[in-house]
Amino acid sequence: MVSPGIHFLDARGPAGMRLYAIGDVHGRLDLLAAMHGRIRDEIERDPPEDWRVIHLGDYVDRGPDSKGVIDFLIEARQRDPRHLMLAGNHDVGFLDFLRAPDPDGLFMRFGGVQTAQSYGVPFNEGPNAWFGKAETLFRRAHAALVNAVPQSHVDFLRSLNFSVSLGDFFFCHAGIKPGTALDKQSPQDLIWIRDVFHDHTGLYPKIVVHGHTPVPEAQVLPNRVNVDTLAWQSGMLSALVVDGSDKRILTMTVKAM
């Protein structure tokens, strides 16, 4: 018998565990640190039995301090493994670029230049980086970036899971393919899917909490919650908080870069 699915209003987190799911950071260390400070204050002021902070991916690109964001997340996870980090398409794209540089790929076209700059490596932008003298400069910049990125950052990016399920909630970066069991979702869909997921109005076995597609403010629908509020540009980072049957949106705002 097929499960009828669950509605957001009926969804509950794990008993005794408060959940915080933070949307796309994209190099905004200031917003991430401020959000962690707010969460820490809440936990100290009103301690739950247990908690998890789930980061939904896209830590790098576009914003000014991707390196700082990764340093921050590594330290947070080492301090307390209840900080969970999932992979986003930009995080995977960063690894792909380090392995095989493509001047027309995701990294170079959508904010990777800012990521490289955060490691102290300047890149020439544009589609003609493979030609003539520009090709040599591009390859030299790539080699410099490979040398500049600490192995601990590469290891961190490689360690990222693509999803996690807690209570009545399923967390991933982009969304899921409707009609496919949650435990059978492909990594490609989990970090890239958009329209077929967004257009699906039926209920899922769990509420899907995701980012990847920017919205002006956190979007709460019967079957999913989108907490990507374009932090790198808007100056607003959003999170879903789940505490038993209580659900709310937490926002942190800093002046846009």
Reduce the DSSP state of residue 140 to 3 states and report it. helix
pLDDT digits (tens, 9 = 90+) for 25-74: 999 999 999 999 999 999 999 999 999 999 999 999 999 999 999 999 99
Q: Which residues contact 219 (CB under 8 A, 6 or more apart)?
A: 225, 226
Cβ neighbour number for residue 167 with a 10 Å cutoff = 16
Predicted local confidence at residue 255, as pLDDT:
63
**Residue, of 138 and 250, whose pLDDT is higher:** 250
Backbone angles phi, psi at 40, to 5 degrees: -60, -45
Superfamily assignment of 8-253 in CATH? Metallo-dependent phosphatases (3.60.21.10)
Q: What is the mean pLDDT of the chain?
A: 94
Region 163-167: what's the mean pLDDT?
98
Per-residue pLDDT at 133: 60
Contact at 8 Å (CB) between 204 and 193? no
The token pair that represents 236 in the structure block: 């607003």
At residue 1 the predicted structure's pLDDT band, cuts being 50, 70 and 90, is: very low
Q: What is the pLDDT of residues 97-127, one digit of tens each?
A: 999 999 889 999 999 999 999 999 998 655 5
**Other CB atoms closer than 10 Å to residue 140's CB: what's the count?**
11
Query: CB neighbours of 63 closer than 8 A, spacing ≥ 6?
Result: 25, 26, 27, 28, 29, 69, 111, 114, 231, 232, 257
pLDDT value at position 64?
97
More confident residue, 29 or 2: 29
With 0.85 as the threshold, say if the pTM is over it: yes
pLDDT at 251 over 50: yes
At 10 the pLDDT is: 98
Judge contact between 7 and 222, C-beta under 8 A: yes
Half-sphere exposure of 95 (CA within 13 A, CB side): 17
Q: How far apart are CA 206 and CA 13, in angstroms?
A: 11
Q: Both tokens of residue 164? A: 């996690």
- Does residue 138 have a pLDDT over 80? yes
- What local confidence, expressed as pLDDT, does residue 163 receive? 98
Q: DSSP readout, 195-232?
A: HHHHT--SPPSSEEEE-SS--SS-EE-SSEEE----HH
Residue 242 neighbours by CB under 8 Å, 6+ apart: 11, 12, 13, 18, 19, 21, 167, 169
Note the pLDDT of residue 5: 95
Task: Give pLDDT tens digits for 194-236.
Answer: 999 999 999 999 999 999 999 999 999 999 999 999 999 999 9
pLDDT of residue 135: 81
pLDDT above 70: percentage of residues in the chain: 94
Cα dihedral 40, 46, 50, 53 in deg (nearest 10): -30
Asked if residue 128 has pLDDT above 70, the reply is: no
Question: Position 117: which residue type?
Answer: Q
pLDDT of residue 254: 80
pLDDT of 4: 79
